[in-house]
């Protein structure tokens, strides 16, 4: 009997069976749409940092793939590091298609099974740079399927906002708390001040936020209130006595101020013309005598 790759075998090799016995089960699945209507939910899933259904298993270390038999009704896949000898076990459901073979060399973050990758898991295993590349490529794949060309920089701006916060793992000698989520820029500024004063800096790990949560958890309550849950955001800001420094674009537009871009930067606003010297006309400078002109140049 020909079996598909996702078939779950119900019998063992060499087992005696009778007519009517179930040999294997083949899971049923609905028709998958490949048009843009099927792709846009995938984009929403990526930018909202949701955990996808039937996610792929990824390698947590680099090494050689080995099969470890069956445990708890699942296939055991072992990745062994050839340098350190470290092992990482992966329990793969029987109905999942493994896309690697025994003896293959895999890298950190490489897919072992079919399916979309969990972004949070990729961030933990490979770091923020690999996650940024994955998110940009996955979003672009949906639009390129329909022949829509979008410059990477537009998606990169969104991904940057999704990774702008860090989670404190060690507060050091700073005022941060364990597990607190702070802006990456604030974290760097506080650490620079701590190092300058001879104190121990804090340590943190990157955090992935969906665009909705990232917009609502921004430092500017005016920017957050203009997006969603206006009453809740303003009530919280009033209760905590929050102060908005008006650093971003949205809050400055709402307040009718210059946006912090181009000549709107504070460093450019305070620029004043400086008079370097007395103005001299070309006629006065050149004159009619070339020798006199050379003398004036030497004087200047």
Residue range of the domain that includes 156: 63-161
Q: Give the pLDDT of residue 72.
A: 78
Domain match, 96 and 176 both: no
CB proximity list for 229: less than 8 A, separation 6 or greater: 216
CATH of the domain at 176: 3.30.60
Q: Give the pLDDT of residue 33.
A: 46
Q: Confidence class of residue 9 from pLDDT cuts 50, 70 and 90?
A: confident
CATH of the domain at 86: 2.40.50.100
Domain match, 80 and 132 both: yes
16 domain residue, yes or no: no
User: For the residues 221-244, what does the mean pLDDT come to?
Assistant: 92
Domain match, 122 and 145 both: yes
**Residue 29 reports pLDDT greater than 60:** no
Q: Confidence class of residue 31 from pLDDT cuts 50, 70 and 90?
A: very low
Domain match, 131 and 190 both: no
Instruction: Please give the order of strands across the beta sheet that includes 74-80.
Output: 87-93, 74-80, 63-71, 105-106
**Number of domains, the chain:** 2
57 domain residue, yes or no: no
Compute the distance between CA of residue 41 and CA of residue 217 in angstroms, rounded to an integer.
23
Domain match, 131 and 199 both: no
Domain match, 82 and 133 both: yes
What Cα–Cα distance (Å) separates residue 54 from each residue in 16, 93, 116, 117, 158?
A: 34, 10, 7, 9, 25
257 neighbors 246 (Cβ within 8 angstroms): yes
Domain match, 148 and 173 both: no
Domain match, 145 and 105 both: yes
109-123: per-residue pLDDT in tens?
Answer: 999 998 889 999 999
77-108: per-residue pLDDT in tens?
Answer: 899 988 888 888 888 888 888 888 888 999 99
Domain match, 93 and 145 both: yes
Domain match, 168 and 157 both: no
> Of residues 292 and 264, which shows the higher confidence score?
264
Q: Confidence class of residue 295 from pLDDT cuts 50, 70 and 90?
A: low
Q: Confidence class of residue 215 from pLDDT cuts 50, 70 and 90?
A: confident
The string of DSSP letters for 222-245 reads HHHHTTS-HHHHHHHHHHHT----
Residue found under tokens 């792929």: 56
88 domain residue, yes or no: yes
Q: DSSP 3-state assignment of 95?
A: coil
User: For the residues 207-229, what does the mean pLDDT come to?
Assistant: 89
101-112: per-residue pLDDT in tens?
Answer: 888 999 999 999
Maximum mean pLDDT: which of 136-140, 280-284, 293-297: 136-140
250 domain residue, yes or no: no
E-strand spans in the chain? Answer: 8-9, 24-25, 63-71, 74-80, 87-93, 105-106, 165-170, 181-183, 203-207
Q: Give the pLDDT of residue 85.
A: 85
151 domain residue, yes or no: yes
Q: Give the pLDDT of residue 69.
A: 81
92 domain residue, yes or no: yes
Mean pLDDT of the chain: 85
Q: What one-character DSSP code corresponds to residue 288?
A: S
**Residue 143 reports pLDDT greater than 60:** yes
231 domain residue, yes or no: no
Name the domain boundary from 161, 189, 216.
161
CB proximity list for 217: less than 8 A, separation 6 or greater: 165, 181, 209, 224
CB proximity list for 234: less than 8 A, separation 6 or greater: 221, 225
Compute the distance between CA of residue 251 and CA of residue 222 in angstroms, rounded to an integer.
6
Q: Give the pLDDT of residue 287.
A: 58
pTM tops 0.75, yes or no = no
> Of residues 164 and 6, which shows the higher confidence score?
164
Domain match, 149 and 187 both: no
């Amino acid at each position: 009997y020909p079996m598909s790759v996702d078939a779950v075998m119900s019998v063992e090799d060499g087992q005696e069976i009778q007519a009517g016995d179930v040999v294997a089960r083949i899971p049923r699945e609905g028709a998958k749409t490949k048009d843009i209507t099927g792709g846009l939910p995938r984009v929403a899933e990526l930018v909202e940092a949701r955990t996808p259904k039937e996610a792929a298993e990824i390698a947590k270390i680099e090494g050689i793939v080995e099969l470890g038999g069956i445990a708890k009704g699942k296939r055991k896949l072992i990745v062994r590091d050839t340098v350190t000898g470290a092992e990482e076990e992966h329990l793969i459901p029987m109905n999942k298609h493994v896309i690697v073979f025994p003896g293959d060399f895999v890298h950190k973050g490489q897919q072992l099974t079919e399916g979309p990758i969990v972004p949070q898991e990729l961030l933990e295993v490979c770091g923020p740079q690999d996650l940024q590349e994955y998110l940009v490529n996955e979003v672009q794949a949906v639009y390129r399927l329909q022949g829509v060309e979008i410059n990477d920089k537009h998606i990169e701006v969104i991904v940057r906002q999704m990774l702008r916060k860090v989670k404190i793992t060690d507060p050091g000698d700073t005022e941060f708390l364990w597990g607190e989520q702070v802006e990456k820029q604030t974290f760097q500024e506080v650490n620079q001040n701590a190092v300058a004063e001879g104190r121990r800096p804090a340590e943190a790990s990157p955090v992935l936020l969906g665009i909705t949560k990232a917009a609502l958890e921004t430092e500017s309550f005016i920017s957050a209130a203009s997006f969603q849950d206006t009453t809740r955001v303003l009530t919280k800001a009033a209760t905590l006595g929050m102060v908005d420094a008006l650093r971003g674009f949205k809050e400055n537009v709402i307040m009718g101020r210059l946006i912090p871009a181009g000549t709107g930067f504070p460093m450019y606003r305070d620029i004043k013309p400086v008079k370097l010297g007395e103005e001299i006309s070309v006629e006065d400078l050149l004159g009619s005598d070339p020798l006199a002109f050379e003398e004036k140049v030497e004087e200047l």
